[in-house]
Amino acid sequence: MDVGSFVQENKRWLLGCATGLVVFFIARSIVGSVYDPMPERRAARGVVQNAQTTEVYDRSGLAAAIAEQDALAAARKSLESEIGFAKSADFSFEGKGLSADEFLGKVGRERKLAILKAASERDVQVDQNRDLTWPPAPNGLEEIRSALFGIELIDETCARLFAAHDAVKSVDPQSQGLVSLRVGVETRRAARRAPVRGQKPGQVDVREFLEQERVLFEFRSDEATAMQFLESLRKQGRTLTLEPGLKMTHTGRRADPVVTTGSLIGIAFKQETKESN
């Protein structure tokens, strides 16, 4: 495959997929606006600070502020639907009768075995020690939740790769399909709770409202399987957001597979908590 021709022919589609960073900053702006703790926004939500305080808004100003707040909340809901990844309860340790670390170990073993079994059934090359990886031995409940989220994203990425393989094979049993895969969670625990650079006092840290994990992938396949996988990333409520930097390379020999590398972000919106009046 001529990668240059592929990019030119599919430029519009690729640009539509590769919106991870842009979308995240848009989401950050909107979520930050929704949860902006400034007094006038609290006033817009109907919070009365002091009965003797001079009125900040007249009726029209208050109505406009409330309308703006409603619009921002609607935008957040739309973002959650379009780019959010709703986590499955199967990857949550609450109510499972095991300690958090025991549950993490159990889920990690089970999902790795399931992926290896699915790969073996399709004759896809996967090294269990090298090709399926996530950060080891997390400390504390927050890091365990993050590790479980990462495992879920790996599981979902592999499931969509296998589905792409099956779809292509069902049309053309002689096609190459998926040849090999490598998927891993980016290790970045040290920066997980670091302050946002340039954050001012009173500013909202959107990490209180969003969770995200980054998955790095590399797989070899025919062109049709690669395209099928990339097209499957956008799914309402379970989107795997493709970041800029996708690479598709080919040796130039027709029989050789395409090597596709890139990164995905899973963005989970935390459940809102009601403010106290």
Range with the poorest average pLDDT among 30-34, 88-92, 140-144: 30-34
- Domain encompassing residue 179: 3-269
Q: Which residue has the higher pLDDT, 131 or 205?
A: 131
Q: What is the pLDDT of residues 193-223, one digit of tens each?
A: 444 454 555 555 556 678 899 999 999 999 9
Residues linked to residue 178 through DSSP beta bridges, in sequence order:
221
Residue 275 lies in a domain: no
Q: What is the CA radius of gyration of the chain?
A: 22
DSSP 8-63: HHTHHHHHHHB-HHHHHHHHHHHHHHHT---HHHHHHTT----TTSPPS--HHHHH
Range with the poorest average pLDDT among 31-40, 101-110, 132-141: 31-40
Average pLDDT of the chain to the nearest whole number: 77
* pLDDT winner (highest mean) among 53-57, 66-70, 177-181, 253-257: 177-181
Q: What span, in angstroms and rounded, lies between the C-alpha atoms of 116 and 120?
A: 6
Helix/strand/coil percent split, the chain, to 5: 50, 15, 35
Could you tell me the two tokens for 179? 């040849």
Q: What span, in angstroms and rounded, lies between the C-alpha atoms of 175 and 165?
A: 9
Mean pLDDT across the stretch 257-267?
94
Residue 276 lies in a domain: no
Residue 189 lies in a domain: yes
14 exposure class (CB count in 10 Å sphere: 0-12, 13-18, 19+): middle
Q: Report residue 277's pLDDT band, with 50, 70 and 90 as the boundaries.
A: very low
Residue 198 lies in a domain: yes
Q: Report how far apart the first and last C-alpha atoms of the chain are (Å, whole number).
A: 61
Q: What is the pLDDT of residues 158-179, one digit of tens each?
A: 999 999 999 999 999 999 999 9
* pLDDT winner (highest mean) among 26-35, 59-68, 126-135, 206-215: 126-135
Q: What span, in angstroms and rounded, lies between the C-alpha atoms of 147 and 198?
A: 27
Angle, helices 100-121/140-171, rounded to nearest 10 degrees: 10
Residue 62 lies in a domain: yes
- Whole-number pLDDT of residue 43: 47
pLDDT at 237 over 50: yes
Q: What span, in angstroms and rounded, lies between the C-alpha atoms of 235 and 241?
A: 10
Residue 79 lies in a domain: yes
Percent of residues, the chain, with pLDDT higher than 70: 62
Residues linked to residue 85 through DSSP beta bridges, in sequence order:
238
Could you tell me the two tokens for 238? 């379970």
Q: Report residue 57's pLDDT band, with 50, 70 and 90 as the boundaries.
A: low
- Whole-number pLDDT of residue 135: 81
Split into its structural domains, the chain has a count of 1
Could you tell me the two tokens for 175? 């096609």
Q: Report residue 117's pLDDT band, with 50, 70 and 90 as the boundaries.
A: very high
Q: What span, in angstroms and rounded, lies between the C-alpha atoms of 138 and 242?
A: 26
pTM, two decimal places: 0.71
Residue 166 lies in a domain: yes
Residue 55 lies in a domain: yes
